[in-house]
Amino acid sequence: MARISPRSYDVRMMFAMGVYVAVFLAVWPQVRGTADPFVKTVCALVPVLPLLYVIWCIAQRVLHSDELEQRTHLIGIGVAAAAVALVSIVAGFLAAAGLLSLDTTSVVLVWIFPLLLLVYGAARSYAARRYGSLGCEDERLPLHQRLLYSAAMTAFMALIVFLRSGAPDVVAVVLAICAAQLLCAAWFGFKRRRERVTPP
Amino acid sequence: MNNQVRSLREQRGWSQGELAERLDVSRQTVNAIETNKYDPSLPLAFRIARLFRLSIESIFEPGKD
- The ipTM assigned to this model is 0.88
- The Cα A88–Cα A176 span in angstroms is 25
- The Cα B53–Cα B6 span in angstroms is 15
Q: Among candidates B6, B7, B20, which has minimal Cα distance to A68?
A: B20
Contacts of A121 (CB under 8 A, 6+ apart): A76
Beta bridge partners of B60: B3
Say whether residue A140 is in contact with chain B using an 8 A CB cutoff.
no
Q: Regarding predicted confidence, which is higher, A24 or B37?
A: B37
List the single residue in A with minimal CA-CA distance to B39: A68
Mutate to test the interface with A, among B5, B16, B28, B30 (most CBs of A within 10 A): B28
Question: How far away is chain A from the Cα of B28, in angstroms, using its nearest Cα?
Answer: 5
Half-sphere exposure at residue A111, Cβ-oriented, CA atoms within 13 angstroms: 10
Helix (H, G, I), strand (E, B) or coil at A97: coil
Secondary element (H or E) of residue B54 = none
- The Cα A54–Cα A72 span in angstroms is 19
Given a cut of 60, whether residue A1 has pLDDT beyond it is no
Does the beta-carbon distance from B26 to A132 stay under 8 Å? no
Say whether residue A131 is in contact with chain B using an 8 A CB cutoff.
yes
Does the beta-carbon distance from B26 to A68 stay under 8 Å? yes
Beta bridge partners of B3: B60
DSSP classification of residue A47: T
Given a cut of 60, whether residue A200 has pLDDT beyond it is no
Q: Among candidates A1, A7, A2, which has minimal Cα distance to A142?
A: A7
List, for residues A110-137, the tens digit of each pLDDT value. 778 888 988 998 999 899 888 887 666 6
Q: Among candidates A153, A149, A143, which has minimal Cα distance to A187?
A: A143
Contacts of B25 in chain A (CB under 8 A): 66-68
List, for residues A30-77, the tens digit of each pLDDT value. 787 888 888 888 888 898 999 899 899 889 888 889 999 999 999 999
pLDDT at B64: 67
| B-proximal residues of A, 141-200, CB under 8 Å | none
Q: Round the average pLDDT of chain A to a whole number and report it.
A: 85
List the single residue in A with minimal CA-CA distance to B37: A131
Of B28, B35, B44, the CB nearest to A128: B28
Question: How far away is chain A from the Cα of B6, in angstroms, using its nearest Cα?
Answer: 15
